Structure 1
Amino acid sequence: MIRFFTAVSLALFPLSVLANERISQKFEIEGTRLIYDTEKINGEITERDIGALKRALRKHTEILEIQLNSSGGSVHAGTEMAGVVMKYRLDTYVGDECTSACVDVFLAGNRRHIAQGAKIGFHQRSWGAEAVQRYYRNWRERKNWDSPFEFGAWIYADTQIEIHEHLAYMISRGVEAGFAVESMKAESSEIWYPTQEELATAGVLREAVLPPLERPRVVAEPLSDRPQVVLQQKK
C-alpha cells in the first residue's frame, strides 16, 4: 500500500519541480541548462564556484548549456570556469547581464546567445591597493625586490603580459581584434555595454561551434608560484 501511494504521489508531482535542482545558492539545474546566477545573493564570481561548476557537470551529464547572470568577480575564477565550459563544450546564454569576469565564461561557449534586452559589459581589470601592498610584502624577498620601485617595474611588465593573454583569448574565441581592444577602454569603475548588433558583428555572439581550445591564461607565471589569494583580488 505504501508503494502504491508513493507511486501515485510521484505521478501527480509536477515534472517541472522534478526537473529543477538547486546545487548551491548560485547554481541551479533546469533540464539540460545549468543556471549560474551570482546576483540573486548580491554576490560575485569566487574561487568556490569553480569546484561547484565541476561537480555539477560531472553529476549532470545531460547539461548542454550554462545560463549566466553576473556582474563579475575574481579574474582567476572566471578564467578557470571558462576552461571548464570549454572542456565540456557547453553553449552559453545570458538572460539578463554578464559583465567583467563573467564575459570570459560567456566567451568559452560554443554557441553564444543572449535574450532580447540582455547586456554584455566590458571594462578594464583592477587590482586593489591593499591587495597590491600585501603582495609586495609577502613576495618581495622571494622576488628580490629591493624597493617598491622595482616592484612597480615588475607590475608594469606583468600587466602587459596579462593584457596580451586576455586579448589573445578573446580573439581565439572568434572575437574581432578591434573589438577586443576596444573592450578594454572603459575604466574599471565604468562599464561599456555594446549593442546586440555590435556584439553579433564582432563575434561575441555566434552560432558556429568552435573546436576545443586550451583554457585562457591570465597570469604569466605558474599558478603554484603565485598565491591564489592574490589572483582572487584581480577583478
Structure 2
Amino acid sequence: MRYIRDHWQGKHALIYALLINLVGLRALLLFADRYTLPPFIADRTDALMATILFIILGHGVVFVWQVVGVLCATGQQTSSLSGIWTVVAYGAIALCLAFTALSIATSFRALAPERFIVVSPTALEDARARQYTLSLSPDGKRIHIAGIFTLGMTQKLTALVDQTPTVTGVVLHSEGGHIYEGRGVAYLIRDRKLNTYVFDTCKSACTTAFIGGAKRHLGPNAQLGFHQYKLELQTPFPQYDLKGEQEKEIKFYRQQGISEDFLAQVFLAPSSGIWFPSTEDLVRSGVVDEVVGGE
C-alpha cells in the first residue's frame, strides 16, 4: 500500500516512475489482456465479462494511478532539464494511451459475434480424420487406407486392426502426409505381420507404410513415389531435423530388406518433385515382392 501511495503522490523518481510504474507495468497489462480471450476463456459471454472487468481494473483504475503518479513526479522536477522530462513524460503517457486503446479495440473485435468461433475440443481431430478413410473389405481380410496420412491415423488403424482379427493385409492409396504417421502405420503393419498392396498411387509417407508389409504387392499400373521430406511451415523450424528423419526411414527400409543401391537414390528427388521407380527396379531392389493382377 505504501508503494502505491508513494507513486500516487509523486514520491518516486521520475525515471523510475516512467520506466517501471508506467511503461513496464503497462506492457505487462497489455500482454496479460489476451488471457481474457479465447482459447483461454472458451465461452463468449464469460470472455466478454472477463474482458470488461480487466479493462475497468487494468486499463481504468491502474492506468489512472500510473498517469497521476508520473504527472506528480514530473511536477516535482527542479533540474534544468525539467522541461525536457515533462515532454518525455507526456509523450510516454500518450503512447501508452494509444496502445491501450488499440488493445481494447482488438479485444472487442475478437469477441464480436460474427467473428467469435467456438472451437470444439474434438474439432481438430475431426478435421484430420476427414482427410482419410479406413474401410474394411467385404471378406474382412484387408483394410483400405485412402487419403492423407494425418495425425491420429495410426491410432485409429490400430483400433480397427484390433477389432478385426481376420485382417491379413492393408491396401494403400495416398499422396502422402505426415511422416510420423507414415512411420507409425509402417511399424504397426510390420509388427502385426500384415501384407501391403498398392493398386493405384502411393507417395512419400505412404511408401514407408507400404514397405512395412511382410509381403509387398504392386498392381500392374501402380506407382510408388519417393522424394525428400519438407516442412509445411511458413517460417523455419531449426530444431526439426529433416535429414535425421530421412535417415530413420533409410534404416527402416534397410531392415525390411531393401537394397543399398535403392537406398542411395530414395531421397535424391527434391521435395517439389517425385521419383517413380519402374516396377522392374522395385522388384529387383526388394521393395516389391510380387506384381499382382488387381484387387
TM-score range (shorter-chain normalised) is 0.5 to 0.7
Decide whether aligned partners of structure 1 residues 125 and 159 sit closer, same or farther in structure 2, where only a CA change above 3 A counts. Answer: closer
SS at match of 1:130: coil
Does 2:133 correspond to 1:26? yes
Does 2:278 correspond to 1:195? yes
| Deviation of 1:131 (Å) | 5.5
User: For residues 1-235 of structure 1, what are the structure 2 equivalents within 5 Å?
Assistant: 26-30=133-137, 31=139, 32-38=141-147, 44-130=148-234, 132=236, 135=237, 151=238, 158-206=241-289
Q: Give me the whole-angstrom Cα distance separating, in 1, the residues matched to 2:135 and 2:219.
A: 19
Kindly provide the CA deviation profile for residues 103-147 of structure 1, in whole angstroms up to 9, marking residues without a partner as x.
110000010011111000000000134263xx5xxxxxxxxxxxx
Structure label with greater radius of gyration = 2
Residue identity in the other structure for 1:95 = F
SS at match of 1:86: helix
Decide whether aligned partners of structure 1 residues 131 and 61 sit closer, same or farther in structure 2, where only a CA change above 3 A counts. Answer: farther
Counting aligned pairs with the same residue, the percent is 26
User: What is the aligned length?
Assistant: 159
**Structure 2: gaps of 5 or more residues:** 1-128, 291-295
- The CA RMSD measured in Å over matched residues stands at 1.9
| Deviation of 1:169 (Å) | 1.2
Q: Give me the whole-angstrom Cα distance separating, in 1, the residues matched to 2:271 and 2:244.
A: 18
**Structure 1: gaps of 5 or more residues:** 1-22, 39-43, 136-150, 208-235
SS at match of 1:54: helix
SS at match of 1:92: strand
Residue identity in the other structure for 1:82 = A
Residue identity in the other structure for 2:245 = E
Kindly provide the CA deviation profile for residues 46-89 of structure 1, in whole angstroms up to 9, marking residues without a partner as x.
01211210111000000000000001000011111111111211
Q: Give me the whole-angstrom Cα distance separating, in 2, the residues matched to 1:130 and 1:97.
A: 28
SS at match of 2:199: strand
Any conservation in 1 of the 2:145–2:172 contact (CA below 8 Å)?
yes
Residue identity in the other structure for 1:33 = R
SS at match of 2:276: coil
Residue identity in the other structure for 1:37 = A
SS at match of 1:62: coil
Residue identity in the other structure for 2:269 = A
Residue identity in the other structure for 1:178 = D
Q: Which TM-score applies when normalising by structure 1?
A: 0.63
Kindly provide the CA deviation profile for residues 162-218 of structure 1, in whole angstroms up to 9, marking residues without a partner as x.
3322211111111111211201111011111011101000100126xxxxxxxxxxx
Residue identity in the other structure for 1:59 = Q
SS at match of 1:182: coil
Q: Give me the whole-angstrom Cα distance separating, in 2, the residues matched to 1:76 and 1:200.
A: 26
SS at match of 2:280: helix
Query: Which segment is superposed worse, 60-69 or 46-55?
Result: 46-55
| Deviation of 1:159 (Å) | 4.0
Decide whether aligned partners of structure 1 residues 89 and 131 sit closer, same or farther in structure 2, where only a CA change above 3 A counts. Answer: farther
Q: Give me the whole-angstrom Cα distance separating, in 1, the residues matched to 2:201 and 2:242.
A: 27
Point out the structure with the larger helix share. Answer: 2
Q: Give me the whole-angstrom Cα distance separating, in 2, the residues matched to 1:96 and 1:131.
A: 34
Instruction: Specify which structure has the bigger relative contact order, considering alpha-carbon pairs within 8 angstroms and separated by 6 or more residues.
Output: 1
